[in-house]
Amino acid sequence: MADGGLSFPTSIGTSDETHIRLLGQDLAADLMGKVGFGELAYWLVAGRRPTPGETRVFEAVLVALADHGFTPTAIAARLTYLSAPESIQGALAAGLLGGGSRFLGVTEDCGRFLHETLRDAGPDPDYDAVALDAVRRAREGKRFVPGLGHPVHKTGDPRTPVLLRIAEEEGLKGPHLRLFEAIGRVHPQVLNRTLPLNGAGVCGAALADLGLPVDLLRGFALLARAAGLLGHLAEERRKPLGMDIYLTVDRNAVYEED
């Protein structure tokens, strides 16, 4: 605590000449080779080591969110790699910057919606009644219910039942997933049509049931996507598409007066 009393407290990590400590553990002796990477990511954010069941649900979420093909974020990363191949960090960052409200925000939006709905509902709720009320209020406020509907998987997102089953198997199907299932059951009464519970939404519900802070759920979607973007950049390196994508746009540009 030199420098006139300056002090920057942290619970993450420190090191000295012979040891590196991370999360209160000896990095080399206790963590390397003994904890998985997903497990460590959970621990870093939650500040506590997850159980094996929590790790399995968490990694299933990361796997579900890692890639969705040629998303706008994957295309942006490939085009940035085309322009600046010497800076892989720039291409990865450009891809992650699309992780905002529209294409990667559903996970966090859904987790937060469920969290706030449950907070208002009080303990031991009747999930179907709470869900019915929440969907009604969303409709009256002309708001979408996050996690409901999918442009491609119109009759059912294949990730949803699988993640629900995994959470059930691990004894981790908590109030957020239960409320999400209830929304799936009751929304046709209000909306007069049946929409699928989508994969991004069920991931948000599962992360919230793991006790992770709802303000940071988008962060996990970004971590998962970082792996997917690396996959795209590795493929771009082997079989480049960026130039074709760029030329497809540029060759079909048409100037028009504003």
Residues 131-170 that bind its own copies (CB under 8 A): 152-156, 158-159, 161-163, 166
For its own copies, which is the closer residue by CB, 136 or 153?
Answer: 153
- Is 79 near its own copies (CB under 8 A)? yes
Taking CB under 8 A as the criterion, the residue among 50, 54, 96, 210 binding its own copies is 96
Amino acid at 6: L
Out of 50, 54, 104, 187, name the contact with its own copies by CB under 8 A. Answer: 104
According to DSSP, the β-strands at 20-22 and 25-26 are antiparallel
Q: From the CB of residue 216, how many other CB atoms can be counted at a distance below 10 Å?
A: 14
Tell me: does residue 51 bind its own copies (CB under 8 A): no
**Does 252 help bind its own copies (rule: CB under 8 A)?**
yes
Among 51, 103, 174, 191, binds its own copies (CB under 8 A): 103
Q: What is the CA radius of gyration of the chain?
A: 22
Q: Which two tokens stand for residue 125?
A: 């709720």
Least distance (Å) from its own copies to the CB of residue 109? 12
- 122 in contact with its own copies (CB under 8 A): no
Which neighbouring-strand residues pair with 25?
Answer: 22
Smaller CB separation from its own copies, 131 or 217? 217
| Residue of 51, 68, 189, 200 that binds its own copies (CB under 8 A) | 68
Smallest separation (angstroms) from its own copies to the CB of 187: 20
123 is a contact residue toward its own copies (CB under 8 A):
no
Binding flag, residue 204, its own copies (CB under 8 A) = no
Based on the shown chain and the rule CB under 8 A, indicate whether residue 121 belongs to the binding site for its own copies: no
Q: Is 194 in the site for its own copies (CB under 8 A)?
A: no
Report helix, strand or coil for 14.
Answer: strand
How many of the chain's residues bind its own copies (CB under 8 A)?
Answer: 130
| CA distances for 35 relative to 32, 49, 217, 245, angstroms | 6, 10, 22, 40
Closest CA to 176 of 207, 221, 198, 139: 207
* Residues 197 and 160 sit within 8 Å (Cβ to Cβ): yes
Q: 13-42: which residues touch its own copies (CB under 8 A)?
A: 13-22, 24, 26-29, 31-33, 35-38, 40-41
Distances (CA, A) of 190 to 114, 134, 157, 195, 205: 18, 10, 21, 12, 21
Query: Quick check: 150 and 198 in contact, CB under 8 A?
Result: yes
Does residue 3 touch its own copies according to CB under 8 A?
yes
